[in-house]
Amino acid sequence: MSADPVVHVIDDDESVRRSLDFLLRAAGHRTRTYDSGVAFMQALPDVAPGCIVTDVKMPELDGVDLLKKLRAMDVRLPVVVITGHADVPMAVEAMKSGAVDFLEKPFDDEALLTSVRTALAAAEDAAEREAARRELRQRIAVLSRREREVLDGLVAGKANKTIAWELGISPRTVEIYRANVMTKMRAVSLSELVRMTLTADLADELPPGAE
């Protein structure tokens, strides 16, 4: 994530938008404001990493629909929704759609800042996990086709002899491929190798490679 993440404030009420912007900037956060969910969507995919603070009830595109669109686009910015008393059911629906928190108006300034700090921490954790997945996928990508087949068998919990029988090679050859896989994946144990592969989300379908 960027060293200076941005809090994206979305609210159709200009006075609320300005107030939130002032509060967040006074607390040391970088901000960008939008007068509607549509305006924010038009700014994608060029928005900076960070989090979103959005009113849940807005014309054209409300907070729930915004969340659903972001999820469909695999945009991973954590979202804090702001709601009036009458909008609580909508805010709950937003939580079910992936919002990290919702605040009911009127809310305390510190409550908002706490929610934003939590959202930014979640964004940073997600960015670190995604970076780790990319690194593991890069390691998997350098495996040969046969090494990937052996890795697939190991992740499935199969013994070397079973893998050898299924691939039509000797158990000794499986051991060689297994050692190559461990080296290329930089794994020190079978359990770590399995964990790394699952983390990369490639346990069930490994892309084909050259022999």
Residues 171 and 114 in one domain: no
In sequence order, the 6+-apart residues with CB closer than 8 A to the CB of 66 are: 10, 37, 40, 41, 54, 79
Distance (Å) of CA 100 to CA 6, 76, 77, 117: 16, 11, 10, 11
Domain span at residue 185 reads 142-199
Distance between CA 156 and CA 206 in Å, rounded?
A: 12
Query: Residue 103 pairs with which residues in a beta bridge?
Result: 82
Summarised one tens digit per residue, pLDDT across range 184-208 is 999 988 888 888 888 886 444 443 3
The reported pTM is 0.65
Residues 60 and 158 in one domain: no
Q: Dig out the tokens for 200 from the structure.
A: 């990369």
Domain count, the chain: 2
Of 82, 99, 129, the residue at which a domain comes to its end is: 129
Summarised one tens digit per residue, pLDDT across range 144-184 is 999 999 999 998 889 999 999 999 999 999 999 999 999 99
Give all strands (DSSP E) within 144-185, no chain letters: none
Residues 15 and 92 in one domain: yes
Residues 63 and 88 in one domain: yes
Distance between CA 41 and CA 73 in Å, rounded?
A: 11
Residues 85 and 151 in one domain: no
Of 75, 105, 129, the residue at which a domain comes to its end is: 129
Residues 18 and 75 in one domain: yes
CATH code, domain with 172: 1.10.10.10
Residues 70 and 98 in one domain: yes
Residues 23 and 99 in one domain: yes
